[in-house]
Amino acid sequence: MMRYFAPLAIFAVIVVIFAFGLHQAPRKDLVPSPLIGKPAPSFTLPSLADPTQTVSNAALHGHWYLLNVWGTWCISCRLEAPELLAIAHTGVVPVIGLDWKDSRSAAMRYLAQRGNPYQQIAFDPGGLEAIHWGVYGAPETFIVNPQGIIVYKYIGPITPGAWTRDFLPRLRAAQTVSGS
């Protein structure tokens, strides 16, 4: 009887330690990015909608924008889609998409079914550009200022609460300082 109790007791202790660790772990959206306050990595990638065209963040210089990294394979991206559409409809800030590790046909079907919140979508099927931005999962969203500096990085799906709490104050404060 004792030989069965010892492994069970050890397993219970391990479960308690893991549960405590998970409870004490910081929120994933608080992971600092080494890119905050630094120039956004420049990119020129094929457009998702038209592979003969390109999308470049150099063309966005002088404007605030959100860069949203997403993929059709990403379940959290599907949860985020309605909020991105709502954000796009407000006109507060342009939303630029970076379709990451995806197929063009799947992404086009996805946008046709769910709506397209993006002003432009850069296509990164190999995921190489996302590496320069420090992306390790989708969705991830960056606020970039008119000087091309990354102001904020949000990890996970944007919810109405996150938009109100984490994005709008930064955008409003920045617009007040810049006078726009």
Mean pLDDT of 132-151: 96
What is the average pLDDT across 108-134? 96
Does the structural domain 31-178 have CATH classification 3.30.930.10? no
Mean pLDDT score, 19-27: 51
Mean pLDDT, the chain, integer = 87
Two tokens at 151? 């102001």
d(CA 36, CA 145): 11
Q: Which has more pLDDT, 25 or 118?
A: 118
Whole-number pLDDT of residue 173: 74
Which pLDDT band, with edges at 50, 70 and 90, does 17 fall under? Answer: low
Rounded to whole angstroms, the Cα distance separating 164 from 178 reads 20
**Domain ranges within the chain, ordered by starting residue:** 31-178
* Cα–Cα distances in angstroms (integers) from residue 77 to residues 58, 108, 124, 159, in the given order: 26, 15, 16, 11
Instruction: State residue 35 phi and psi, 5-degree precision.
Output: -90, -10
- Regarding pTM above 0.85, the answer is no
The phi and psi torsions of 176 (rounded to 5 degrees) equal -65, -45
